[in-house]
Amino acid sequence: MHEQIIISGFGGQGALFAGQVLTYAGLKEGRNVTWLPSYGPEMRGGTARCTVTLSDEPIGSPITDSPTVVIAMNPPSMEMFEPRVKPGGFLFVNSSIVSTDSTRKDITTIQVPANDIAEELGNERMANMVLLGALIRATGVISMKSATVALEENLPERRRHLLPLNEKALRQGAEVVEKVARG
């Protein structure tokens, strides 16, 4: 297994934190992992992103031009990364704020109304965990158990009260994929 995943969204949407949870969950499962965040002026409302590589083999580089999986949390991320998804890969789109549909037939696109689900949960900032839950269910790249343990171990102390809500957001994202699979 060798997955290169890009998670991208507006600064403040939690793309980097979702990548950290994915990275630590991969470590829990004994995988080789890299996490490459993109910082700079993008953190103030522009597009922030990270690349996570999970592999059973040594990883040569944390950089990728053709990821196997992309989470596009906002329209600029969809525009930037949809063309770069490797054929046969996955594209998860936050359909609450991205109105563009993918025209590609060589990838699996999953529309997830992440902001809407997060708002129903009571906190729009959970959209990142909704999308991560969808990714976990659809790809099986890590287990949900590893993700919840990584979330618990890496959620900052000042946000500990949000742990149950984050875990629920992961489950809600997984349920979106289950509904799509059932048709």
Region 50-69 average pLDDT: 93
pTM of the model: 0.92
Q: Is the C-alpha dihedral spanning 57, 62, 64, 69 positive or negative?
A: positive
pLDDT per residue as tens digits for the range 10-56:
888 889 999 999 999 999 999 999 999 986 554 555 778 999 999 99
Quick: pLDDT tens for 127-165.
999 999 999 999 999 999 999 999 999 888 888 888 899
Given this model, what pLDDT does residue 138 score? Answer: 95
* DSSP reduced 3-state for 27: helix
Q: Are 108 and 138 in contact (CB under 8 A)?
A: yes
Give the pLDDT confidence score for residue 135 in this predicted structure.
97
The residue to which tokens 């990821």 are assigned: 67
Topology given in CATH for the domain delimited by 2-182? Pyruvate-ferredoxin Oxidoreductase; domain 3 (3.40.920)
Q: CA of 54: how far to CAs of 50, 159, 163, in Å? A: 13, 27, 24
Residue ranges with strand state E in 2-142: 2-10, 32-38, 47-55, 69-72, 90-94, 108-112
Give the separation between CA 175 and CA 104, rounded to whole angstroms: 24
pLDDT of residue 47: 77
DSSP structure class, residue 30 = T
Query: Pairing between strand 47-55 and 2-10?
Result: antiparallel
List the one residue out of 129, 181, 180 whose CA is nearest residue 152. Answer: 129
Give the model's confidence band at 82: pLDDT under 50 very low, under 70 low, under 90 confident, else very high: very high
